[in-house]
Structure 1
Amino acid sequence: MATMRDVANEAGVSVATVSRVLNKNGYVSQESELKVIKAIEKLNYKPNAVARALFHKTSKMIGLIVPDITNPFFPELARAVEDVSMIYGYKVLLGNSDGNAEKEQTYLDLFNQKYVDGVIMTGHSSEKHISLHANTPVVVLDRASYSELPTVTSDNYEGARQATKLLIEKGAKNIAHIRGPREITSANDRYRGFIDEIEENNMSYIIEESAFNLAAAEEVAHAFFDKFTQIDGIFCSNDTIAVGFLKVALKRGIQIPEELQIVGFDGVAFGKMVYPELTTIAQPIYDLGAVASRLLIKLIENEEPEQTIYELKTRVIQRGTTR
């Protein structure tokens, strides 16, 4: 199998010149470039994946960064991104950032080295920290964008209002919201939706905060139930928090939904695996990933997208944790 050095020897040029021709970067005389191209054809030289990416200016690879692959929401999202990407001939490289800006940037640097054609970001860090090649398209997914970056998200604000309204309609009088971390824009949007709906109904409320993972939710739930005994309705900022509160409530002998009603947010599959099954505000998770993937591919292929900001509607799924 021919190597880059074989091509250089055949063309009578340096390896660096062959690299510049493949990279289309730096000055190479027309005569030398022609010699390299003829040598490549004669030797049937097959560049490796990175070299092909440089030669064709495309790697057919997309980078996807998620903050926590153990959160059931993100595997469902990643599946949709991969499915649509494969349809159009792209492969997906996955990075799990753990919600850490430095780790996120490490993956972005890696994606740069791998010459990915574009990146889908679902991370928590500020967009000012996003550092990629200037011509690498980026789509922000499941997080509101505060810049000009293309964005695909759900209507988190309206979904939170739906959740709060449902609890009120089901007869809850003392309602709490377990909000998500303050650095996450979707959690903030859900918090705003809860506040606006509850205050429009002139009701008092309790706010507590939890990370989007089960262990943290259970810890918060134990402290919550020790402190608040009159709460009869809880809107949790995601389904994982809701399941944590449901587990702790049942362990304490609280009757669900007779004494306490719980509503989650996301609509992930495991909401049907608990008992009682979880009432939730469902995001169109697959559609979010599919739209983001298709939008990014259009940007990669220099197609004009119909729009660059997508806000998809949520829907109420009533199950066993509400009356």
Structure 2
Amino acid sequence: MVTLSDVAKEANVSKMTVSRAINHPEQVTPELLELVEKAMDKLHYRPNSAARALVNNRTNVVKFITLEDIDTTEPYYMNLLFGVARGLTKEQYALQLVTDIGDIGKSGDDGYIITGARQADYDLFDAFDKPFILYGENRHGYDYVDTDNSLGEKIATKYALERGYEHVVFIGLDVKEPFEYSRENGYLSTMQQAQMPTQIYRAANHSHQSKKVVLDNWEKFPQNTCFVCGSDRLAVGIIWALLEKQVKIPEEYGVIGFDGVFLDQVSNPKITTIKQPTFEMGEILAQMLLQKIKLSGAPQGEVLLEPKLVVRDTTK
């Protein structure tokens, strides 16, 4: 079995230096850290996670906290959770799922990944005494990971125009949150650049709500309209409305969703959508939080990942 002494000998440093590089990497130079890591990799040395946690006064537990309705986001969060779990497993960390923010601090943990935060929640975060990373854009200076929401809707709107739709309508989420503002901005900026008139409607993230918006305003949507949506769930409701009106999809009306997790594939017809890299975002959330824990809470900044257009049956 490879020991700490073997690593020290391979790296030509002391055992104390190796220990410091493993348990307190912020206390050694990048060059020295790289030297120790190369020696560990060469010898296939893996530090004992329990011993590391004891040395650093840590639990090796991270809590994943969701502050929104799981019923409307379950498929989406499943992918995100798998990504987080994979990122934590690489560093031998365990994951706990929390749906009640009041449970924070009731048992040992080293930090938090927080999803579904809304404006009313931010005052709570300042009271946290442990590192945390938010999933989702914010304007409060907290570290976060998210999709580039503005870019996603720019891609969707541009594609709708390129496919020859004469009218492009945005159906967004009825929430006053940064991610929604970014999505609307992506639509607006693209339409303005194309010198096209804009139409924006908002609905709660439920299919029956977006269906109602379309049916209630049907006379405002002539043929050759494409609906660019703030979520796949909203897109499903719009498809229901179009089917009820017995119009042709995608020849007469198009629909583009946003998320690319499950609903876009089970819908009939299947939805052209902006696919978020949820698994990758989960891994990055875990990596950023673990780095923040190692660096005693030092800020990690923001990461925006590029979404991709997936073309299916609801556009020309």
Q: Aligned to 1:205, what secondary structure does the other structure show?
A: coil
Aligned to 1:274: 267
**Aligned with 1:82 (options 63, 82, 85):** 85
Partner SS state of residue 128, structure 1: helix
> Equivalents in 1 of 2:176, 2:182: separation in Å?
11
For residues 26-55 of structure 1, the C-alpha deviation after alignment (integer angstroms, 9 at most, x for no partner) is: xxxxxxxxxxxxxxxxxxxxxxxxxx99x9
What does residue 7 of structure 1 align with? none
Give the partner amino acid of 1:301.
K
1:245 is the counterpart of 2:246: no
Q: Which residue of 2 aligns with 1:310?
A: 303
User: Is it true that 1:179 corresponds to 2:191 in the alignment?
Assistant: no
CA distance in 1 between partners of 2:126 and 2:298 (Å): 21
Among 127, 130, 135, the residue aligned to 2:129? 135
The TM-score normalised by the length of structure 1 is 0.73
Counterparts of residues 1-323 of structure 1 (less than 5 Å): 56-58=57-59, 60-70=61-71, 71=73, 72-96=75-99, 107-126=100-119, 128-131=122-125, 134-141=128-135, 143-225=136-218, 228-230=221-223, 232-302=225-295, 307-323=300-316
- In 2, the alpha carbon distance for the partners of 1:169 and 1:287 equals 29
What letter is aligned with 1:68? D
CA distance in 1, matches of 2:208, 2:228: 18
Secondary structure at 1:63's aligned position in 2? strand
- Give CA deviations for 1:61-82 in whole Å, capped at 9, x if unaligned: 3232242322232222122222
Q: Distance in 2 between matches of 1:94 and 1:198?
A: 41
Q: Relative to 1, partners in 2 of residues 1:220 and 1:82: Cα closer, same or farther, differing over 3 Å?
A: farther
Kept after mapping to 2: 8 A contact 1:267/1:280: yes
| AA of the residue aligned to 1:83 | R
Task: Quote the RMSD (CA, aligned, Å).
Answer: 2.5
| Other structure's SS at 1:268 match | coil
SS in 2 for 1:112: coil
Return closer, same or farther for 1:212/1:229 CA change in 2, 3 Å cut-off.
same
Residue 105 of structure 2 aligns to a residue whose secondary structure is helix
Letter in 2 for 1:88: E
Unpaired runs of at least 5, structure 2: 1-52
The answer (yes or no) to whether the contact 2:139–2:178 under 8 Å persists in 1 is no
Question: Which is bigger in relative contact order (C-alpha 8 A, separation at least 6)?
Answer: 2
Pairs aligned (count): 260
Task: Note the residue ranges of structure 1 that are not aligned, 5 or more in a row.
Answer: 1-51, 97-106
Q: Look at both structures and tell me which one has the larger radius of gyration over its CA atoms.
A: 1
